């Protein structure tokens, strides 16, 4: 499946290349917001909401470790988004692979986090709503992933050799 345009609530474009650049900007923006949230929580901010990935983590032991890992991961996502833009400008599909891999892991985390919320707190209607909102966001992130995957496949079609066998 190759998408030739991107029609989402946040990005409207007929061009996959432009959409991938907008998705890279979205990646950087959401990473900066989440890094800021994690730093706020590491400095003693409120982390008691159900939808929070650092929900139920101990401030003294597990939160600094998990928070540090998440900050490193989001910084890596920012670098991967820049590499993706570089690859799109150069027309090299290999530069898209780190972002595709890391973003798929983000989507898997959102799926697993939603399942954990449902499994652990299914009796609270608020957790069901938080899970549905999380999965709606995951659907948008998967759509962004499919747009970048389509750009990867478009580059693959352009870069594949056209070999004709000539028989005498």
Cα–Cα distance for residue pair 106/85, rounded to 1 Å:
19
Q: What are the CA-CA distances from residue 159 to residues 3, 78, 89, 100, 150 (Å)?
A: 18, 26, 14, 19, 14
What would you report as the CA-atom Rg of the chain, rounded to the nearest whole angstrom?
19
pLDDT 10s digit of each residue in the chain, 168 long? 777 777 777 777 888 999 999 999 999 999 999 999 999 999 988 888 877 878 878 778 888 999 999 999 999 999 999 999 999 999 999 999 999 999 999 999 999 999 998 998 878 888 899 899 999 999 999 999 999 999 999 998 888 777 777 776
The residue ranges of every structural domain in the chain are 16-154
Phi/psi for 7 (5° steps) reads -125, 90
pTM of the model: 0.88
Cα–Cα distance for residue pair 96/91, rounded to 1 Å:
10
């Amino acid at each position: 499946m190759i998408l030739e345009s991107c029609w989402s609530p946040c990005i409207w474009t007929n061009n996959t290349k432009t959409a991938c650049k907008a998705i890279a900007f979205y990646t950087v923006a959401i990473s900066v917001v989440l890094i800021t949230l994690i730093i706020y929580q590491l400095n003693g901010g409120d982390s008691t909401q159900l939808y929070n990935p650092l929900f139920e983590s101990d401030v003294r032991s597990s939160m600094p470790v998990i928070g540090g890992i998440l900050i490193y991961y989001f910084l890596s996502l920012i670098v991967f988004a820049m590499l993706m833009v570089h690859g799109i400008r150069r027309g090299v599909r290999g530069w898209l692979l780190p972002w595709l891999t890391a973003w798929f892991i983000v989507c898997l985390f959102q799926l697993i986090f939603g399942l954990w919320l449902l499994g652990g707190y299914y009796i609270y209607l608020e957790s069901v709503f938080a899970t549905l909102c999380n999965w709606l966001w995951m659907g948008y992130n998967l759509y962004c992933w499919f747009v970048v995957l389509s750009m990867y496949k478009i580059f693959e079609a352009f870069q594949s050799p056209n070999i004709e066998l000539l028989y005498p």
